A and B are shown apart, each in its own frame.
Chain A
Amino acid sequence: MASSVATERASSEVSRREPAAPISLGRVAGLAVLTLGAVVFLFPFYYMVVGALQREPKTDISGAFPNPANLTLANFADINAQVDLVRTLINSGIFTGGVLLATFVIGMLAGYALAQLDFRGRNVVFNAMLLILVLPFQLFMIPLYVLIVRTYGLADNYLGMILPFAVNATAVFIFRQFFLQLPRELFESARIDGASEFMILRRIAIPLARPAIITALIVTFIGPWNEFLWPFLITKQHDLQPLAVALANYISTVAARAANPFGSILAGAVVLAIPAVIVFVVFQRQFIESNLGSGVKG
Chain B
Amino acid sequence: MAVAAAGRGGRMRRLIGRDPIGYAFIAPYVIFLAALFAYPLLLALYISFFDYFFAAPGAEVERPFVGLRNYAQILGDPVFQRAILNVVEFIIINVPLTVVLSLVLASALNAKLPFRAFFRTSYYIPYVTASVAVIGVWLWLFSGTGLLNSLLSPIAPKPSWLVNEFWAMPVIALTVTWKQLGFYVLIYLAALQNIPKELYEAAEVDGAGVVRRFLAITVAEVRPATTLVVILATIVGANLFTEPYLLTGGGGPNGASMSPVLLMYRQGIEQGHAGYAAAIGAVLAIGVMVISAINRFVLERE
Contact = CB atoms under 8 A, between A and B. Distances in A.
Interface of A: 15, 20-21, 26, 30-31, 34-35, 37-38, 40-42, 44-45, 47-48, 59, 61, 102, 105-107, 109-110, 112-114, 117-120, 122, 125, 128-136, 138-144, 146-147, 150, 163-164, 166-167, 170, 172-174, 177-178, 180-181, 191-192, 194, 197-198, 201, 211-212, 214-215, 218-219, 222, 226, 228, 244, 247-248, 251, 262, 265-266, 269, 272-273, 276-277, 280-281, 284-285, 287-294
A287 B28 CA distance: 29
Interface of B: 1-2, 15-23, 25-26, 28-30, 32-33, 36-37, 39-41, 43-44, 54, 57, 105, 108-110, 112-114, 117-134, 136-138, 140-141, 147, 150, 178, 181, 183, 186-187, 189-191, 193-194, 196-199, 210, 224-225, 227-228, 231-232, 235, 238-239, 241, 261, 264-265, 268-269, 274, 277-278, 281, 284-285, 288-289, 292
B264 A174 contact: no
Contacts of B225: 177
Given A41-B126, A140-B37, A142-B274, A248 B132 contact: yes
Contacts of A211: 189-191, 193-194
B62 to A, nearest CB: 19
Closest 9 CB pairs of A and B: A293-B196, A269-B133, A117-B22, A119-B22, A211-B190, A143-B40, A119-B17, A110-B29, A113-B25
A47 to B, nearest CB: 5
16 contacts: A20-B112, A42-B122, A44-B137, A44-B138, A105-B28, A110-B29, A129-B29, A134-B235, A138-B265, A144-B40, A163-B36, A174-B228, A201-B25, A228-B130, A247-B132, A280-B124
Contact of B186 (A61, A142, A219): A219
Nearest to A43: B137
B292 A112 contact: no
Given A118-B17, A138-B241, A290-B193, A48 B29 contact: no
A289 B109 CA distance: 12
Contact of A45 (B17, B126, B239): B126
A210 to B, nearest CB: 8
Contacts of B199: 293
B123 to A, nearest CB: 5
Contact of B108 (A30, A262, A292): A30
A142 B267 CA distance: 13
B22 A174 contact: no
A160 to B, nearest CB: 11
Given A44-B137, A136-B264, A38 B289 contact: no
Contacts of A228: 130, 132
Contact of B39 (A15, A147, A178, A265): A147
A28 to B, nearest CB: 11
Contacts of B187: 174, 215
Contact of B130 (A113, A247, A290): A247
B214 to A, nearest CB: 12
A158 B141 CA distance: 38
Contacts of A102: 32
A281 B121 contact: yes
Contact of B268 (A40, A138, A247, A277): A138
